[in-house]
């Protein structure tokens, strides 16, 4: 994604927050949030769009397009400046704390003079919120968790933003004269859920043209360091990107070294030492004679150590080396293995694109099947009704013949109530091809209650997939307090799949939870949860998390042929996939 799109998204979201703080219209607030999602997911750099094209971005109306144009032209938005002036800066700072809404932020500022996250943490530590209406012990504990979440995410980027910067750097360096190879490495290549800095590696005989191109790329606001074969830059936001240029013959060893993790590389060095070898950043060497025995590719280095190539997301020293030594190399699921997406939305609820556009985008990705799963009525802001969802089903069936080889599945994303109940009765649910059920409310229930509600949802025969199970949003909201062992055991017992949600601000389940669920024998669905055509591409982040959790095609139901998927989704009264009844 272009950096300008990120800037515009942030401004629109800030404006939405300011509307909320000042008690503005909730629908207007959501309209700006919707426009921000549209800009974020738009594949083109919005700075290159004219007025008409801006208004064609999903969710962007005339007024918003005018504000975006104003920002692109002047670097500011007058209406946003006026809104900022109406709200104390301290309140805006406090609203960055996950779970701290505008009303509570304003109360903290007005009643206790708290105007920063540090002041908030200090006030909590000295019991300074005692007696403040609406700030009971449970609320204060939740706010403190939010402060910790915010601090832990400080200075780190989500995978999509980090990949955008990395792709720009790789493109700039690759175009330089003499560049033979270039790729990003580090934690981004391992698909860690957030990235603290970006490592770029290149191969060339003469590093200077590559370094010049790297330091001149648009996102490089400052050159932080420069040497004969390396350089470091910072973006305007202070994020660091490093470049290291290697001789071409050392490419594989260098890529292995720079990818990490340190623990994985230490295991490889120990293996090398046991075999009378020495592994370093520039090659694998004979420890006695000093001759280099492998370095050109990662595969060569691994093979010389008696191992198959190990996929980067597995390189965390979680048993991947031992598994390979036992002759059981692990092949994790890949994006190419995914046959369909089982969790997507349209503009019937909170999506940004029409049903035909979302279906066409799914077809363009080469899927064999594609599910539309708009929200159900308990999420009241979406105003879903039985009539609306049944009319959508008929429209979806009418699209079935337009995309050869693509089976269209009509589903819904149900809401798991505090007692584990879902939106519609069994007779109506039998008409859907697939039902995802997710927690969208009552995040503050205690551990026992959260566990009970999720187990109850698993036991519903029409719930096929539990969506974004922990509800976390990275850096913005902690997950619910739940006994995951108990829930995963229930999923395995009832044959309910658990979602690996690919949206980069969720990645829910996270990799450690995927590993735990897999040990219980749970099946998984890796989904995009797309709300626009561009967001279908978030599948790659979900697959990356699935890889980190050691998932294979046997574990992931949407890598299976439609016939096998249909057997998994079988429920009482449900018609064969793609031929659900008009209503019940």
DSSP, collapsed to helix, strand or coil, labels residue 9 as: helix
Residue of 247, 337, 335, 331 lying closest to 292 (CA atoms): 247
What pLDDT, on a 0 to 100 scale, did the predictor assign at position 1?
40
- Give the tokens for residue 421: 């109940």
What pLDDT, on a 0 to 100 scale, did the predictor assign at position 2?
45
Query: Is the C-alpha dihedral spanning 427, 428, 432, 436 positive or negative?
Result: negative
The residue with tokens 């997301």 is 313
What pLDDT, on a 0 to 100 scale, did the predictor assign at position 233?
95
d(CA 270, CA 278): 9
- Give the tokens for residue 420: 């584990």
Question: Nearest 5 degrees, angle CA 492-CA 495-CA 497?
Answer: 85
Find out if CATH 3.30.210.10 is the number for domain 261-325. Answer: yes
* Same fold: 3-152 with 261-325: no
What pLDDT, on a 0 to 100 scale, did the predictor assign at position 582?
43
Enter the pTM of the model: 0.84
- 158-246 to CATH, choices 3.30.460.10, 3.40.50.1100, 3.40.50.10540, 3.40.190.10: 3.30.460.10
What pLDDT, on a 0 to 100 scale, did the predictor assign at position 581?
44
What pLDDT, on a 0 to 100 scale, did the predictor assign at position 130?
84
Residue 295, CA distances (Å) to 251, 255, 284, 303 in order: 7, 10, 6, 11
What pLDDT, on a 0 to 100 scale, did the predictor assign at position 152?
67
What pLDDT, on a 0 to 100 scale, did the predictor assign at position 460?
96
Mean pLDDT, the chain cut into blocks of 10 residues (584 residues total): 72 82 77 84 80 84 86 85 78 75 81 84 85 84 79 78 93 96 96 94 96 94 93 89 95 95 95 94 90 91 94 95 84 96 94 93 96 89 86 94 91 96 94 96 93 97 97 87 97 97 94 96 97 92 97 97 94 70 42
Q: Which CATH class is domain 3-152?
A: mainly alpha
What pLDDT, on a 0 to 100 scale, did the predictor assign at position 572?
81
Query: Is the C-alpha dihedral spanning 426, 428, 429, 432 positive or negative?
Result: positive
d(CA 258, CA 250): 12
Are 233 and 197 within 8 A, CB to CB? no
What pLDDT, on a 0 to 100 scale, did the predictor assign at position 382?
64
d(CA 558, CA 498): 12
DSSP, collapsed to helix, strand or coil, labels residue 109 as: helix
Where are the chain's structural domains? 3-152, 158-246, 261-325, 335-568
CATH superfamily of 335-568: Metal-dependent hydrolases (3.20.20.140)
Return the half-sphere exposure (C-beta side, CA atoms, 13 A cut-off) of residue 562.
16
Are 102 and 17 within 8 A, CB to CB? yes
Query: Is the C-alpha dihedral spanning 144, 17, 542, 157 positive or negative?
Result: negative
Query: What is the Cα gyration radius of the chain?
Result: 25
Beta strand 230-234 pairing with 222-226:
antiparallel
Beta strand 524-527 pairing with 497-501:
parallel
d(CA 403, CA 416): 33
Residue of 225, 262, 218, 264 lying closest to 243 (CA atoms): 225
């Amino acid at each position: 994604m272009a950096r300008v799109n990120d800037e515009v998204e942030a401004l629109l979201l800030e404006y939405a927050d300011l509307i909320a703080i000042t008690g503005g219209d909730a629908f207007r607030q959501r309209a700006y949030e919707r426009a921000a999602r549209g800009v974020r997911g738009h594949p083109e750099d919005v700075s290159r769009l004219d007025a008409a094209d801006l208004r064609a971005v999903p969710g962007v109306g005339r007024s918003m397009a005018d504000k975006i144009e104003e920002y692109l032209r002047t670097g500011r938005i007058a209406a946003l400046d006026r809104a900022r002036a109406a709200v104390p800066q301290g309140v805006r700072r406090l609203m960055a704390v996950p779970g701290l809404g505008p009303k509570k932020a304003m109360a903290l500022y007005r009643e206790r003079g708290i105007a920063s996250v540090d002041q908030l943490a200090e006030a909590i530590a000295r019991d300074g919120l005692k007696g403040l209406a609406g700030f009971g012990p449970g609320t204060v504990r939740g706010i403190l968790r939010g402060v910790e979440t915010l601090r832990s995410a400080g200075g780190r980027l989500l995978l999509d933003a980090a990949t955008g910067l990395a792709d720009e750097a790789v493109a700039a360096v690759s175009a330089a004269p003499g560049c033979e190879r270039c790729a990003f490495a580090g934690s981004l290549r391992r698909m860690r859920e957030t990235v603290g800095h970006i490592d770029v590696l290149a191969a060339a005989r003469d590093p200077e043209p590559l370094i010049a191109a790297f330091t001149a790329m648009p996102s490089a606001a400052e050159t932080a360091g420069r040497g004969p074969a390396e350089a470091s830059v910072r973006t305007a936001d202070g994020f660091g990107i490093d470049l290291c240029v290697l001789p071409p013959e050392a490419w594989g060893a260098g890529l292995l070294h720079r990818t990490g993790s340190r623990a994985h590389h230490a295991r490889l060095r120990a293996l090398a030492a046991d075999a009378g070898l020495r592994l370093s950043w520039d090659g694998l060497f004979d420890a006695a004679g000093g001759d280099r025995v492998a370095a050109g590719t990662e595969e060569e280095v691994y093979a010389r150590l008696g191992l198959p190539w190990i996929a980067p997301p597995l390189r965390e020293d979680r048993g991947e080396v031992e598994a390979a030594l036992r002759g059981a190399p692990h092949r994790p699921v890949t994006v190419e293995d995914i046959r369909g997406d089982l969790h997507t939305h349209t503009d019937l609820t909170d999506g940004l694109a029409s049903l035909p556009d979302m279906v066409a985008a799914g077809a363009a990705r080469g899927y064999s099947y594609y599910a539309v799963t708009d929200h159900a009525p308990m999420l009241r802001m979406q105003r879903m009704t039985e009539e609306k969802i049944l009319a959508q089903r008929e429209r979806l069936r009418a699209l079935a013949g337009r995309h050869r080889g693509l089976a269209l599945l009509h589903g819904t994303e149900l809401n798991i109530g505090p007692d584990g109940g879902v939106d519609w009765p069994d007779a109506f649910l039998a008409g859907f091809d697939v039902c995802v059920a997710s927690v969208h409310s009552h995040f503050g229930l205690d551990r026992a209650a959260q566990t009970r509600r999720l187990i109850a949802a698993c036991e519903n025969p029409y719930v096929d997939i539990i969506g974004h199970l922990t509800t976390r949003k990275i850096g913005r909201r902690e997950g619910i307090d739940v006994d995951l062992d108990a829930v995963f055991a229930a999923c395995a017992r009832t044959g309910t799949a658990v979602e690996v949600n690919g949206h980069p601000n969720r990645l829910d389940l996270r990799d450690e939870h995927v590993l735990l669920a897999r040990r219980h024998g749970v099946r998984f669905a890796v989904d995009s949860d797309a709300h626009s055509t561009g967001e279908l591409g978030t599948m790659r982040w979900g697959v990356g998390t699935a890889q980190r959790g050691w998932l294979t095609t046997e574990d992931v139901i949407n890598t299976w042929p439609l016939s096998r998927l249909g057997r998994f989704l079988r429920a009482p009264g449900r018609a064969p996939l793609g031929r659900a009844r008009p209503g019940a």
